[in-house]
Amino acid sequence: GAVVSQHPSRVICKSGTSVKIECRSLDFQATTMFWYRQFPKQSLMLMATSNEGSKATYEQGVEKDKFLINHASLTLSTLTVTSAHPEDSSFYICSAPDRGINRAQETQYFGPGTRLLVL
């Protein structure tokens, strides 16, 4: 199957700093990517939809100025957690859909996740 990478896999930062997480589709182009966060033993929570060439679409309750998303190319989306606080500590996962021939064949592929710890 297709491969989606994330970098870094783990990051520890001080409160108040900004952290950038990259999501890349390695062998297919993705005009759309999705960013999720997951707290321990909880389900995925969709944060935003990253759109190549246009603004990201944020889910209700997600601060767009806090979580900056840039879809720089057809294979790269970045999530920047600005002025990070300890409550931002979480597991962040991206996904990218590979459409195939038609929409019914569209398969979501996930990155391995980034564990963020804000001290």
Partner 1 sequence: KQEVTQIPAALSVPEGENLVLNCSFTDSAIYNLQWFRQDPGKGLTSLLLIQSSQREQTSGRLNASLDKSSGRSTLYIAASQPGDSATYLCAGPLNAGNNRKLIWGLGTSLAVNP
Residue 89's Cβ-count burial label (10 Å; 0-12, 13-18, 19+) is middle
> Which stretch in 14-22, 69-77, 81-89, 90-98 sits in contact with partner 1 by CB under 8 A?
90-98
The rounded distance, in Å, linking the Cα atoms of 1 and 105 is 13
46 vs 119, beta carbon nearer partner 1: 46
> Which stretch in 13-21, 69-77, 78-86, 87-95 sits in contact with partner 1 by CB under 8 A?
87-95
How many residues bind partner 1, per CB under 8 A? Answer: 24
The rounded distance, in Å, linking the Cα atoms of 20 and 7 is 9
Shortest approach of partner 1 to residue 83 CB, angstroms?
26
